[in-house]
A and B are shown apart, each in its own frame.
Chain A
């Protein structure tokens, strides 16, 4: 489907996603080597978005598994539909069905609830889907062990049915916010990539692509401002998602450029912690800080 890194880059750009060259490289590798891709990065840099866009680019469906502590095989892999089985037994009894036949029939795929991992394996038989395993760091070690098994040979053994094996391997993207270390055994089976915050130029492009209504100057101002604010010692640094929120808020308020007043009014779009707001407000009162934030923006405009 893709012959080179450049062709993949073009496809991603067509889907309004502006990646780094290094990210395209690993995506291309993940796709051509059929290896899972492990993405790490600060919240809001577009890890999940990468998987969603890849699904669009590959024109296949996205299967998403959101991880949480205590997530187990029943919720990630498969489960028997017990109420339906009981109903089937009851009906079978009423109709005096052969018990042996009944026994066999209630353990068929019809009574199987496919959870995301199994679904990814089975639907791969028609077209390779994108499997997004989101926020792996939230799950626990037991789940990692399960993933190891599934990701190494893409097959699931169900005692009552047998082994189900993927004909085509799905493109697997794992994301982590890094609240804890993921075991090396899992990482070793994956390609690793760290997504960093975009450069101001990249961020401007992203705003431009996603919100075409935002004026070019404003987009540049916002991008430069965000880069500066991320250098502050904040509890939670605003990500690209916040940039887009802010830009669309400014668009809705019909602003064409950033000034001290506007920044104050719309601060809630980018800073979500009281500590951060207080810190910023304290800094913002200082003339030199305010000027440097806006001056930097002006310099960028001139440059």
Chain B
């Protein structure tokens, strides 16, 4: 039944073209009212919203559509979903875009606005595309009181402009220096990134014998054992998890930290990134896929819906149970980037930080305020967390970032 249906919406000429030109994504080579044309446009729409769409995928989607037919919208949607979606969090966005694109009638009568259950559970707050606004604009309100108490020091004055930049607190780095700072961050990380991960590697000395290679090598001697290849334990590659505070007081430092994380993603180890204020949100995909400026916009968009003060304790709790605790493990290094201003309950914070400290390899706390000459961890959140932190580091300028890179290098 499907073979014949194919003819209905692929006119024969467009079908030929579809097979010939491999469904190029860029310009719609098909009439908009053919299925192939529509699918190409739909693919582009998805691509614009962060889905991974390629020409073969569009072809797969067309094949899938031919296979299930278009009579049943539910089946049609499931088929496209199976082809285009790569993680369950995209489900809400996909459904919305699907409705927007394919169900014009439904959209006109306002059905598209109905709340989506999956979108609500999985990607709360990823309020769907509205045009970009200033970065973390909403958070500025939260910060004022904290900002007042925050460290207030003058930037160091030095001779060379690069040296100045190296020592300057990120708070005072002018916007136009972004490029130079990015360059410096790359330099700082260079020695760290030079190390590559290895799997189990064969060596000629070591404890365990590699029997597979032993037999293989000695076949040539007719079964007499002359060579003894051995195994060396594989160095376990650590997973790095960054938890970044996005409350207003951290605003000046966040951009540079995210840039730092962005560069560190080149490591062979897994790098996961979360941002938190009142709630925790995973932003790894943005930082991995999008250009840096777009990534910042997306993160800001995620953050914008939040309000109220920082609740570090409950965010850490969310993190500890994220993917059933899959983020934590004996080979994970957790790095918290926060000034420790906590509006939540201290005992929750203490309980969670103990839990995380116990379940990870190392817990590092980066506090940009520590760079100030007179800083003491007097605020409640910082005081609570400090006993359980393995390394407490400043992160206010390039030199501090270099120190963080050094610490990480020792751990990897």
Cα(A282)–Cα(B231), bound, Å = 51
User: What 0/1 readout, one digit per residue, does chain A (180-206) give for beta carbons within 8 Å of chain B?
Assistant: 110010011001111000000000000
In chain B, residues 71-126, which have Cβ atoms closer than 8 Å to a Cβ of chain A?
74-75, 78-79, 81-83, 85-88, 91
A100 at the interface (CB under 8 A from B): no
Residue in contact with A180 in the complex, picked from B52, B83, B234, B326, CB distance below 8 Å:
B326
Cα(A228)–Cα(B321), bound, Å = 20
Asked if A70 meets B200 with Cβ closer than 8 Å, knowing A25-B82, A29-B67, the reply is yes
A29 B219 Cβ-Cβ under 8 A = no
In chain A, residues 98-129, which have Cβ atoms closer than 8 Å to a Cβ of chain B?
106
Cα(A40)–Cα(B88), bound, Å = 8
In chain B, residues 312-349, which have Cβ atoms closer than 8 Å to a Cβ of chain A?
321, 323-324, 326
Residue in contact with B1 in the complex, picked from A4, A86, A192, CB distance below 8 Å:
A4
Size range of the interface on A?
A: 35 or more
Cα(A79)–Cα(B215), bound, Å = 12
A281 at the interface (CB under 8 A from B): no
B68 at the interface (CB under 8 A from A): yes
B87 A5 Cβ-Cβ under 8 A = no
B201 at the interface (CB under 8 A from A): no
Cα(A140)–Cα(B237), bound, Å = 11
Residue in contact with A192 in the complex, picked from B2, B67, B86, B215, CB distance below 8 Å:
B86
A28 B68 Cβ-Cβ under 8 A = yes
Cα(A80)–Cα(B213), bound, Å = 11
Q: Which of A25, A87, A178, A180 has the most CB of B within 10 A?
A: A25
A266 at the interface (CB under 8 A from B): no
Residue in contact with A21 in the complex, picked from B78, B88, B212, B270, CB distance below 8 Å:
B78
A262 at the interface (CB under 8 A from B): no
B82 A79 Cβ-Cβ under 8 A = no
Cβ of B4 to closest chain A Cβ, rounded Å:
12
Cβ of B122 to closest chain A Cβ, rounded Å:
10
Q: Which residue of B lies closest to A179 (CB)?
A: B326
Cα(A191)–Cα(B60), bound, Å = 9
B222 A192 Cβ-Cβ under 8 A = no
A25 B215 Cβ-Cβ under 8 A = no
A26 at the interface (CB under 8 A from B): yes
Residue in contact with B57 in the complex, picked from A25, A87, A188, A236, CB distance below 8 Å:
A188
Residue in contact with B75 in the complex, picked from A25, A35, A37, A87, CB distance below 8 Å:
A25
Cβ of B102 to closest chain A Cβ, rounded Å:
16
Residue in contact with A33 in the complex, picked from B57, B64, B87, B199, CB distance below 8 Å:
B64
Cβ of B381 to closest chain A Cβ, rounded Å:
24
User: What 0/1 readout, one digit per residue, does chain B (158-197) give for beta carbons within 8 Å of chain A?
Assistant: 0000000000000000000000000000000000000000
Q: Within 8 Å CB of A83, what residues of B?
A: 215
Q: Within 8 Å CB of A32, what residues of B?
A: 2, 67
A5 B86 Cβ-Cβ under 8 A = no
Q: Within 8 Å CB of A29, what residues of B?
A: 64, 67-68, 79, 82-83
Q: Within 8 Å CB of B216, what residues of A?
A: 80, 82
B146 at the interface (CB under 8 A from A): no
B291 at the interface (CB under 8 A from A): no
A235 at the interface (CB under 8 A from B): yes
Q: Which residue of A lies closest to B225 (CB)?
A: A86
Cα(A111)–Cα(B99), bound, Å = 56
Q: Within 8 Å CB of B52, what residues of A?
A: 184, 188
B78 A89 Cβ-Cβ under 8 A = no
User: What 0/1 readout, one digit per residue, does chain A (138-170) give for beta carbons within 8 Å of chain B?
Assistant: 001010000000000000000000000000000
Cβ of B334 to closest chain A Cβ, rounded Å:
16
Q: Within 8 Å CB of B324, what residues of A?
A: 179, 235-236
Asked if A89 meets B223 with Cβ closer than 8 Å, knowing A83-B215, A192-B86, the reply is yes
Cα(A147)–Cα(B69), bound, Å = 31
- How many residues belonging to B are interface residues under a CB distance threshold of 8 Å? 38
Cβ of B84 to closest chain A Cβ, rounded Å:
8
A93 at the interface (CB under 8 A from B): yes
A25 B79 Cβ-Cβ under 8 A = yes
Cβ of A160 to closest chain B Cβ, rounded Å:
12
A11 at the interface (CB under 8 A from B): no
Residue in contact with A191 in the complex, picked from B83, B91, B218, CB distance below 8 Å:
B83
A97 at the interface (CB under 8 A from B): no
Cα(A91)–Cα(B196), bound, Å = 45
Q: Which of B79, B212, B216, B218 has the most CB of A within 10 A?
A: B79
Q: Within 8 Å CB of A66, what residues of B?
A: none
A261 at the interface (CB under 8 A from B): no
Q: Within 8 Å CB of B212, what residues of A?
A: 74, 79, 82
B54 at the interface (CB under 8 A from A): yes
Q: Within 8 Å CB of B83, what residues of A?
A: 29, 191-192
A61 at the interface (CB under 8 A from B): no
A194 B75 Cβ-Cβ under 8 A = no
Cα(A129)–Cα(B234), bound, Å = 35
Asked if A93 meets B222 with Cβ closer than 8 Å, knowing A26-B82, A188-B52, the reply is yes
User: What 0/1 readout, one digit per residue, does chain A (62-89) give for beta carbons within 8 Å of chain B?
Assistant: 0000000010101000011011011101
Cα(A32)–Cα(B74), bound, Å = 18
A21 B223 Cβ-Cβ under 8 A = no
Q: Which residue of A lies closest to B76 (CB)?
A: A25
In chain A, residues 1-31, which have Cβ atoms closer than 8 Å to a Cβ of chain B?
3-5, 21-22, 25-26, 28-29
Cα(A21)–Cα(B79), bound, Å = 11
User: What 0/1 readout, one digit per residue, does chain B (219-238) give for beta carbons within 8 Å of chain A?
Assistant: 10011000000000010000
B63 at the interface (CB under 8 A from A): yes
Cβ of B320 to closest chain A Cβ, rounded Å:
10
A300 at the interface (CB under 8 A from B): no
Q: Within 8 Å CB of A192, what residues of B?
A: 81-83, 85-87
Residue in contact with B323 in the complex, picked from A70, A140, A178, A235, CB distance below 8 Å:
A178
B78 A26 Cβ-Cβ under 8 A = yes
Q: Within 8 Å CB of B74, what residues of A?
A: 21-22
Cα(A90)–Cα(B81), bound, Å = 58
Cβ of B201 to closest chain A Cβ, rounded Å:
12
Q: Which residue of A lies closest to B212 (CB)?
A: A74
B86 A184 Cβ-Cβ under 8 A = yes
A142 B199 Cβ-Cβ under 8 A = yes
What would 9 A/B residue contacts be, using CB atoms closer than 8 Å?
A26-B79, A26-B82, A29-B79, A33-B64, A140-B199, A142-B199, A180-B326, A188-B86, A191-B82
- Counting from the closest, the 5 A-B pairs by CB-CB distance are A82-B215, A179-B326, A86-B223, A191-B82, A194-B88
**4 more CB-based (< 8 A) A-B contacts, given A33-B60, A191-B83:** A25-B79, A80-B216, A89-B223, A178-B323
